[in-house]
């Protein structure tokens, strides 16, 4: 794309690779090698480049404004590895040093200068993975995500966070050992404060310096793919940090943010909201998403805080109704449709996931049908209900049994991810382990039961780091996980259980091949409130099925009976109360033959011992005619 066309489409919201035009780029002009600098600051009085190659403010490079509000200049002085900023003279005459919004790598915090870089095209070695991804997609594949905060998964011996070079050596073998299919990272884009966990971004193309270099992350993704692990990244297109040296009021006027003060300011999070109705902002954000997909080969993006982009009254501050008198943010609605349409046009095999907490807008329906076109939505209702249930005293669970069963009423209204994320183990909410009812033994039993329910319930899966082995303390963003917990036998057995459960999920197509319609599930009994037992069948497209039974109270039930559609000899293939997992059972139930007999709408029954606060999963060993 030529420079004039790049400028024109940036202004019309149709330049989806705008980083190729804006920012700093190595070029040859009039036979001389140098760097061109371009930045969008339409209402600035003047813009200069300052850096170590200009002795900072001693000999600044003057830029010239074009008709699209982009300032441009060329210099032969910069060398790769030099640092620079933009010195913006705002409309008021006040000068401010600003980041390059299109930088790919900044200096270490608290500095914000950008490195001069000649980005080389990587020769990727993950062609087999990318080919399989394109051929098979993800909807009829297992998706079991391990959510990670890169800064606090594990530290180096000196207490410093690991870079992705070290995470390649440490985290990837762990993901393989634990049998996860995907890893998802909280935002990896440059941010000024670790306390924000990465959700207050200052730079949308730059890799956070704390985590190493962009090349380190490319190598990490490639290594994941070579180990059959997908990589997802969180992304925040709704709001950004209000630090004055970043995007905020870039040229002294509302540039990336809304003109309306209340719409621009996100009072709840102390941030600024993007004006996502502005063409240049749309080009900027969609280019950011595609850059991470294409430059780093990531397999999916989780879009954070979608509700904040959809509803004018989502924030705590004052708001004005839209032109129709409602609370719908039309700009946000149409932007998200556009984002998904563009990503799917270029990369239909990349997963687009929405973190969205309401039910007022169809999130995963097609754009043609009025939806936003996401592939998945986090099922926050399921997560809230199920955690409330498992936190409660078993004596009262029969009265709240609908918390477990209600999700089957809406399980396929959207395509869901079932998340136990970082948000549930911080700010006094306690760890998942600590949420569980009872003494330490029963807490582990409850946790195994909960994870099995998540795995067997329709929908893709997500679990936050540390939860896999039952870390007792809450997550701390500035402290590594409590790996010393694994010296405790119960925690070690819990991790072993989670690894086996993850492999169990991958091994059984019935758990993931049809997880977006009622064709993949048949409820056996959701009415046994008195005993607090839930049972259902999961099946694949060949009619192979698993029988999943959950005892939600600490009472062992001998000779427990359920109805089944198929006569046969059944074997128990998963029992959460085995000793090897931290329970008390030395072995599973024996193979059991069904008996003829009417049970609800079924003509066959299966009787077995149901473990206390345990889950039991059965598979047919041999079919019988009667």
Active site residues: 304, 355
Burial of 375: CB neighbours in 10 Å, binned 0-12, 13-18, 19+? buried
Asked, as a colleague might, if the bond just before 110 is cis with ω within 30 of 0, I would say: yes
> CA 259 to CA 250: how far, in whole Å?
13
Measure the CA–CA gap between 565 and 623, rounded to whole angstroms. 11
Instruction: DSSP for 71-133, please give it.
Output: EEEEES---TT-EEEEEEE-TTS-EEEE--TT-SBBPSTT--PEEP--PPPP--S-HHHHHHH
Sign of CA dihedral 273, 278, 280, 285: positive
Q: Taking the CA atoms of the chain, what radius of gyration do you get in angstroms?
A: 27
Token pair for residue 36? Answer: 């061109």
Q: Are 578 and 585 contacting, i.e. CB atoms less than 8 angstroms apart?
A: yes
Map tokens 């780091």 to a residue.
465
Burial class (CB in 10 A: 0-12, 13-18, 19+), 158: exposed
Q: Which is nearest to 604 in space by CA: 549, 564, 571?
A: 564
Length of the chain: 626
Distance CA 220, CA 313 (A): 40
- Closest by CA position to 37, among listed 5, 82, 1: 82
Q: What is the 3-state secondary structure (H, E, C) of 155-173?
A: ECCCCCECCHHHHHHHHHH
Rounded distance, CA 53 to CA 64, Å? Answer: 19
Angle at 447 between CA 443 and CA 450, to 5 degrees: 135
How far apart are the C-alpha atoms of 194 and 532, rounded to whole Å? 43
Q: In 3-state terms, what secondary structure has residue 295?
A: helix
Angstrom distance (rounded) from CA 143 to CA 352:
13
Query: What six digits make up the tokens of 255?
Result: 């540039």
Its sign, for the CA torsion 394, 395, 396, 402, is: positive
Residue 388 in 3-state DSSP? helix
């Amino acid at each position: 794309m030529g420079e004039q066309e790049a400028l024109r489409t940036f202004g019309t919201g149709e330049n989806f690779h705008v980083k190729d035009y804006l920012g700093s780029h190595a070029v040859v002009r009039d036979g001389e090698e140098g760097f061109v600098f371009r930045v969008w600051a339409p209402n600035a009085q003047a813009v200069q480049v300052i850096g170590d190659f200009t002795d900072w403010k001693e000999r600044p490079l003057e830029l010239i404004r074009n008709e699209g509000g982009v300032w441009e200049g060329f210099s032969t002085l910069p060398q790769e590895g030099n640092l620079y900023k933009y010195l913006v003279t705002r409309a008021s005459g006040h000068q401010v040093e600003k980041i390059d919004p299109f930088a790919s790598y900044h200096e270490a915090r608290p500095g914000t200068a950008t490195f001069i870089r000649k980005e080389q095209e990587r020769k990727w070695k993950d062609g087999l993975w990318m080919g399989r991804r394109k051929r098979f997609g993800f909807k009829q594949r297992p998706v079991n995500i391990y959510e990670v905060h890169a800064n606090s998964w594990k530290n180096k011996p000196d207490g410093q966070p690991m870079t992705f070079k070290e995470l390649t050596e440490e985290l990837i073998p762990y993901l393989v050992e634990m049998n996860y299919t995907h890893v998802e990272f909280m935002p990896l884009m440059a941010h000024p404060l670790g306390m924000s966990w990465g959700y207050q971004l200052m730079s949308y193309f730059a890799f956070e310096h704390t985590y190493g270099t962009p090349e380190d992350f490319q190598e990490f993704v490639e290594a994941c793919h070579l180990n059959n692990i997908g990589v997802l990244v969180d992304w925040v297109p709704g709001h950004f940090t209000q630090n004055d040296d970043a995007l905020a009021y870039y040229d002294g006027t509302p540039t990336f943010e809304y003109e309306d003060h209340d719409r621009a300011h996100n009072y709840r999070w102390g941030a600024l909201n993007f004006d996502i109705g502005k063409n240049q902002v749309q080009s900027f954000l969609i280019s950011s998403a595609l850059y991470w997909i294409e430059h780093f080969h990531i397999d999916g993006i989780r879009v954070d805080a979608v509700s904040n982009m959809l509803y004018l009254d989502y924030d705590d501050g004052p708001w004005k109704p839209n032109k129709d008198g409602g609370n719908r943010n039309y700009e946000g609605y149409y932007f998200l449709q556009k984002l998904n349409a563009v990503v799917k046009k270029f990369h239909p095999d990349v997963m687009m996931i929405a973190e969205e907490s309401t039910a007022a807008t169809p999130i995963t329906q097609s754009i043609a049908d009025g939806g936003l076109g996401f592939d998945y939505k986090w099922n926050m209702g399921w997560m809230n209900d199920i955690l409330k249930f498992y936190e409660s005293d078993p004596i009262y669970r029969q009265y709240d049994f609908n918390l477990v069963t209600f999700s089957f009423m809406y399980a396929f209204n959207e395509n869901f991810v079932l998340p136990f994320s970082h948000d549930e183990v911080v700010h006094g909410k306690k760890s998942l382990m600590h949420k569980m009812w009872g003494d330490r033994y029963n807490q582990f039993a409850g946790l195994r039961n909960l994870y099995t329910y998540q795995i067997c319930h329709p929908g893709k899966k997500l679990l936050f780091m540390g939860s896999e082995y039952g870390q007792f303390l809450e997550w701390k963003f500035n402290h590594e996980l409590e790996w010393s917990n694994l010296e405790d036998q119960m925690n070690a057995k819990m991790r072993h259980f989670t690894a086996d459960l993850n492999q169990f999920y991958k091994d059984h197509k019935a758990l993931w091949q049809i997880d977006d319609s009622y064709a993949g599930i048949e409820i056996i009994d959701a009415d046994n409130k008195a005993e607090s037992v839930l049972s259902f069948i999961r099946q694949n497209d060949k009619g192979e099925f698993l029988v999943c039974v959950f005892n939600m109270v600490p009472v062992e039930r001998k000779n427990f009976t359920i109805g089944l559609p198929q006569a046969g000899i059944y074997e128990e293939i998963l029992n959460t109360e085995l000793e090897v997992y931290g329970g008390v059972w030395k072995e599973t139930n024996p193979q059991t033959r069904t008996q003829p007999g009417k049970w609800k709408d079924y003509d066959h029954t299966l009787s077995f011992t149901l473990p206390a606060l345990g889950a039991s999963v059965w598979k047919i060993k041999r079919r019988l005619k009667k």
